[in-house]
Structure 1
């Protein structure tokens, strides 16, 4: 049993090297937090149901191989240990692992961990320095705490769904599980802050992340806009009302480019590229462009529609006008800047061969993150962790396996 069948063994130690994380729960929000911590060197021990494992193992399955194309991403750099947390023996194993760890990440409904004897009060008695990161739809308290909560509901309650999409259509999904990912990101941030505080105080604490609050945190001035003007922010499609030009414009070869020239100085540069100096008369200021936004967009679109994409982008970039194509995966794989920055990392998957995915971000100059191995097979590290961390012998592990505890 090994985690290194596809590992990059020469990866540098990250800033979280030496931090042990026990990841519990499943799907996206909690595991994305674990992914981020693992990217930067933490030892992440993922506890999974022996019978089926994390449902993410069956998401975005490649029909030809039967392999999930998402699991190797969200479970990268993690060790898989199977434990039935519904059994007293499984709960005891988890308790012992957590006692030897720095962080536990869980995303069960509030009260579940307490029913299993794994609440923070009990765990912190065993391990006073423990950081317990808890990710739920609504948080650990409040009138909605007991409700089931998925990322989509958090996106709706946090205000994102209402402002996403075309104004002529019902609210739209962003296109990715952004509510879960935001919750996982804020959870990883909270975890690292709690570890910094522990370095100072010696005490752990609870990091309580609600998905709807993670979404709410990025909603800009939506609440004070209503509070002070009575305006409810609505869907605006590809534009930000009053900020122009900043939109997607067609090109002569059937493609499109996004141009952001909403600052006065940048707009002047765009006008020069367009050879339309007269536009400065009616659109020269931020307020003028905002008031006549649609008229300006029509003028720019009429011009871009006569330009070949690459020539247009070369001219805009040369003039210092922010612009770019709307990338898809093939564009990313072919792009020289992605390659130069190492934005994608390729490892070898046991059945799929070369497997390319996004690299850890941000870049740290001295202790960078790394992608060391892809998501492991179910239970790949059960024996190694239970013997190496808890001191069980292999006969004890075999007995636990025979009784379906692991």
Structure 2
């Protein structure tokens, strides 16, 4: 199938949209994954592999290709799904020229290099828009494209710290903690994707492209709720609070005889239903726990009271009671729980993606779900650097066999 045919026939709400992804690691590539999941044709540009001592090509490509646990670098299979891989040495003029030609055919460009890098390569927004006025340029960086910190090196953890996340995450008697996933990168990528979609809407009306500037620290700041207003209004500084949100009670993970279980019953009516399930309906009318404010003041004692009850039950027994009484609750899922769960299965939250190396890779499906134009995983992650050089460069840019062979022989692709 030709590049043009695939663009027309690809399912999903972004069918017909071409994305060129020049980023590496997480923030840029996750943005590309999201757009690809929604049907966009994503062409990823990677550094070419180079001949090693034995003549075989080594290195090159996005470092994500080798990220994972031990002998299983499977993160790449998720973040690079639905993408085509071409190679170009962006450190040299010919590689830069090749990238510019490809970008001239694109609707969206994603990059997460240090600010100023694109400009150094002759790909400033002004230069790119002169050739492709409708181009949407998503720029993901640590501190944004302007401001006194813009030229600093940045990555997800720094954005989480500056945005306020790290200071309040973890137990109060221990150093600040981090999440077990790269949340700062993923948030910045998600805001970059959201910005690209909004920019497409603007382009539909005006024909104009624009720059979407997504900073890691600002993406984190956006989800910090009322952290800053609370401080300005009252001087209150949120601190690390472990597994709870201060003043939101009961809402915690509680011990069972065979595991742990999460209950969120901080709303008045829901707390009443929890008390009934506990066999202690009088607690809902107790002045100490009668409303949100009072429960918040006695969060620790209320959690202790509930824990004494949950310890007498298995996870399955507690879950049955929570379902019976309509209390929002749930067990803490591990991978096998997700695989076995009938709700995951019914909604196809996990899918098996065929892969030439791994056979099949089980991974999360595309989200959100669309009723008319569903997204999909249409192709596995590129197995090799430059895997799609021939099809993309030949069909999208019209390069001949001789030109491709010349570029490859000189290490440009």
Question: Smaller-chain TM-score range?
Answer: over 0.9
- Quick check: 1:267 aligned with 2:267? no
* 1:178 and 2:176 matched: no
Aligned with 2:110 (options 105, 113, 124) = 105
How many angstroms does 1:58 deviate by?
1.0
**Pair 1:53-2:61 in alignment:** yes
1:347-385 residue CA offsets vs partner (Å, 9 max, x unmatched): 122122221111111111001111112210211101110
> Which one has more relative contact order, counting CA pairs under 8 Å at least 6 apart?
1
TM-score (norm 1): 0.95
Equivalent position of 1:37 in the other structure: 35
Q: Within 5 Å, which residues of 2 pair with 1:267-346?
A: 267-280=271-284, 281=286, 282-346=288-352
Cα distance in structure 1, aligned partners of 2:100 and 2:36: 21
Q: Any conservation in 1 of the 2:10–2:16 contact (CA below 8 Å)?
A: no
Whole-Å Cα distance in 2 between the matches of residues 164 and 298 of structure 1? 22
Match of 2:138, SS state, is: strand
Could you tell me how far 1:277 is from its partner in structure 2? 2.3
The reply to whether residue 151 of structure 1 matches residue 156 of structure 2 is yes
Structure-2 separation of matches of 1:99 and 1:25: 17
Q: For each residue in 1:227-264, what CA deviation from the matched residue of structure 2 results, as whole angstroms up to 9, or x when unmatched?
A: 001011111111111110000100012x0000000011
User: 1:12 Cα shift?
Assistant: 6.5
Which region of structure 1 is more displaced relative to structure 2, 41-50 or 353-362? 353-362
Rounded to whole Å, the distance in 1 between the matches of 2:69 and 2:236 is 44
Greater displacement, 12-21 / 331-340: 12-21
Deviation beyond 3 Å, 4+ runs, structure 1: none
Q: Show the counterpart of 1:244.
A: 249
**What is the correspondence of 1:61-80 to structure 2 with a 5 Å cutoff?**
61-63=69-71, 67-80=72-85
Aligned residues: 395
Secondary structure of the 1:173 match is coil
Unaligned runs of 5+ in 1: 4-10
- Cα deviation, residue 68, structure 1: 1.6
Instruction: Provide, for residues 119-156 of structure 1, a one-character-per-residue CA deviation record: whole Å limited to 9, x for no partner.
Output: 11101000011111101000001000000000100000
Please give the secondary structure, in 1, of the residue aligned with 2:263: strand
Within 2, Cα distance between the matches of 1:161 and 1:384?
Answer: 45
Give per-residue Cα distances to partners, 1:255-311, cap 9 Å, x unaligned: 000000001100110000100123221312112211111111001000000001101
Determine whether 1:116 maps to 2:121.
yes
Report the secondary structure of 1:250's partner residue: strand
- Secondary structure at the residue paired with 1:283? coil
1:400 to 380, 385, 407: 407
Match of 1:220 among 222, 225, 235: 225
Q: What's 1:360 paired with?
A: 366
Q: Does the 8 Å CA contact 2:2/2:395 hold for their aligned counterparts? A: no
**Are the equivalent residues in 1 in contact too, given 2:184–2:220 (CA < 8 A)?**
yes
Instruction: Tell me the residue number matched to 1:385.
Output: 392
The alpha carbon displacement at 1:61 in A equals 4.7
1:8 aligns with: none
**1:201 equivalent in alignment to 2:221:** no
TM-score by length of 2: 0.94
Residues 2/79 of structure 1: CA separation in 2 closer, same or farther (3 Å cut):
farther
Larger displacement relative to structure 2 (340-349 or 212-221): 340-349
User: RMSD of the alignment, in Å?
Assistant: 1.4
- Whole-angstrom CA distance in 1 between matches of 2:234 and 2:326: 36
Aligned to 1:81, the other structure's residue is in SS state strand
Separation of aligned partners in 2, 1:56 and 1:277: 53
Q: Structure 2: any 5+ residue segments left out of the alignment?
A: 4-8, 50-59
CA contact (8 A) 1:33 1:185 kept: yes
Give the Cα separation in 2 of the matches to 1:150 and 1:115: 21
Query: Displacement, 1:19?
Result: 0.4
> Partner of 2:376: helix, strand, or coil?
coil
- The answer to whether 1:133 aligns with 2:127 is no
Deviations 1:192-236 (A, max 9, x none): 110110000011000011000000000000000000010111111
